[in-house]
Structures are given as structure tokens and as C-alpha cells.
Amino acid sequence: MELQKWIRIIAVVGAYLLIRPYFIKLGAKKQEAEYAKARAEHAQKKEKEKHIGANSFRDSVKISEDTDSEDGAKANSSDVKWGGKARKKQRQTIRKILDQEEKLRREQQEDDEDKDIQQFLRD
């Protein structure tokens, strides 16, 4: 390589080494400004949520009718599904309890029928 090419490479590398810290500081300042802006927006949003009263919140939320089938109900985008899983879990628990009671009744009825039959049978 010629001397002129070496000088050009040294000049480019030297300029890079001299300018790089300034670019890093500039990038850090921009990133900090974006972070501060995002925090301010988040704080503003939290402040708005904080000032929502209970009555206005109740009026704004629409609760769909409670049905047995969650799949059959079509929800609008404005509907909020607060506690949907809890309601579904509660229904399943109630169904289990009812099924157990029904099973117990069936067993008792079968036992009663067996006793009636035993009454007529003699050894």
C-alpha cells in the first residue's frame, strides 16, 4: 500500500475514535429524553385512572348476561370480561356438587330398591 492510503486509513480511524464518544453521549441523551417522555405519559395515564370515581366506573362497564356457555356468548369490543374465569370456575364447582348429590341420591334410591327386593326374597 502507498503512503497516501495509509494516511487516509489513519485519518478515518482517528476521526472515528475522536467522534465516537460524542455520538454515544448524543444517543444517551436522546434515549433519556424518550424515557422521560414515556414515564410522563405513563404517570399521566395513572393519574387519569386514579380520578375515576366508583359510580362513573360502574356506569361505563357493561356486564353481559351470565350464561352457562361461554363459547356461545359473543362479546362486543366495549364489554369488559371482569371475572369471567371466576364465574366459569364457580359454575363448574356448582355442577360438580350437583352431580355428586345426584349420584348420592341415585345410590340411595338403588339401595332402597334393593331393600324392597330383599324384603320379598326369603332364604
- Quickly state the pLDDT bin for 111 (edges 50, 70, 90): confident
Q: Comparing C-alpha atoms, which of 41, 80, 36, 38 is closest to residue 61?
A: 80
Q: Which domain holds residue 4?
A: 1-49
Classify the C-alpha dihedral 32-37-40-42 as positive or negative: negative
Q: Which of 15-19, 72-76, 114-118 has the lowest mean pLDDT?
A: 72-76
pTM of the model: 0.35
Provide the domain count of the chain.
Answer: 2
Residue 45 counted as domain residue:
yes
Residue 3 counted as domain residue:
yes
d(CA 89, CA 106): 26
Residue 61 counted as domain residue:
no
Given a cut of 80, whether residue 79 has pLDDT beyond it is: no
Residue 14 counted as domain residue:
yes
Task: Residue 71: count other Cβ atoms within 10 Å of its Cβ.
Answer: 6
Whole-number CA gyration radius for the chain: 37
Residue 39 counted as domain residue:
yes
- Quickly state the pLDDT bin for 121 (edges 50, 70, 90): confident
